[in-house]
Chains A and B, each alone.
Chain A
Amino acid sequence: MKRLILSRLLQIIPLVIGVIVMNFVLIQMAPGTLLDIMTSEQQITDPAALNRMRELYGYDQSPIIQLLKYIYSVFTLDLGYSYRQNAPVLDIILAQLPSTLLLMLVAIGIAVTFGMIAGVIASVKVNTFWDVVISLAAVFFFAAPTFWLGIMLIIVFSVWLGWLPVGGMTTIGVDYGFFGHIWDVIRHLILPALSLGLFYMAIYTRVMRASMLEVFSLDFVRTARAKGLSTTRVIFAHVYRNALLPVVTLLGLQLATVLGGSVVIEAVFSWPGIGSLMLDSVMSRNYPVVLGVFVLSAVVVAFANLLVDIAYYRLDPRIRNR
Chain B
Amino acid sequence: MTRLTRRFFLTTTAAVALAAASFTMPGLSLAQDTPKTGGTLVATWGGFEPQAVFVPGGGGSSPLISSTKILEPLLRMDGNAEFVPVLATDVTASDDFTSYDITIRDGVTWHDGEPFTVDDVIYTVNEYWKPMVAGAALSNFTGIEKIDDKTVRMTFSKPTPEFFFKNVLATSLVLPEHIYAGSEIATNPINNTPVGTGPFKFKEWVRGSHIEYEKNENYWDEGKPYLDGLVMRYWRDAASRAAAMEAGELKLGIFNPIPAPDIDRLTETDDFVATSDGYLGAAWASTIEFNSRNPIVDDPAVRKAILTAIDRSLIADVVYFGRARPGVSFVSSVNPIFHNPDLPKYDYDPEKAAEMLDAAGYPMKDGKRFTVELLAAGWFEENGKVGQFVKQNLEDIGIEVNLKVPDRASSIKGIYSDYDYDIALSNHASQVEQVPRQTNYVTTDGIVKGAAFRNANGYSNPEMDELVNAMAVEVDEEKRVEMAHKMQEIIAEDLPITILVEMESTTVHADEVKGLEGRADISADSLSDVWLDD
Contact = CB atoms under 8 A, between A and B. Distances in A.
Interface in B170-213: 184, 186-189, 191-192, 206-210
Contacts of B19: none
B57 A42 contact: yes
Interface in B232-255: 233-237, 239-240, 243-244, 247, 249
Interface in A71-101: 83-87, 92, 95-96, 99
A86 B187 contact: yes
A41 B244 contact: no
Interface in A6-40: 31-32, 36-40
Given A170-B209, A272-B208, A159 B52 contact: no
Interface in A235-267: 267
Contacts of B36: none
B52 A32 contact: no
B448 A158 contact: no
Interface stretch (B306-314, B328-336, B385-393, B404-412): B404-412
B438 to A, nearest CB: 14
Contact of A42 (B40, B55, B243): B55
A166 B240 contact: yes
B52 A85 contact: yes
Interface in B246-268: 247, 249
A171 interface: yes
Given A86-B191, A172-B210, A173-B42, A270 B57 contact: no
Give the bracket for the number of chain B residues in contact with chain A.
Answer: 35 or more
B362 to A, nearest CB: 32
B141 interface: no
Nearest to A275: B208
A284 interface: yes
Contacts, number: 139
B450 interface: yes
A267 B209 CA distance: 13
A173 B231 contact: yes
Interface in A39-56: 39-46, 49, 52-53, 56
Given A36-B417, A96-B208, A172-B249, A284 B239 contact: no
Q: Which of A41, A56, A167, A174 has the most CB of B within 10 A?
A: A41
Interface of B: 40-42, 48-49, 51-52, 55, 57-60, 131-132, 135, 184, 186-189, 191-192, 206-210, 229, 231, 233-237, 239-240, 243-244, 247, 249, 407-409, 412-413, 416-417, 448, 450-454
Q: Which 10 A-B pairs have the closest CB atoms?
A: A272-B208, A42-B57, A166-B243, A167-B240, A173-B42, A40-B452, A272-B209, A270-B236, A285-B409, A86-B52
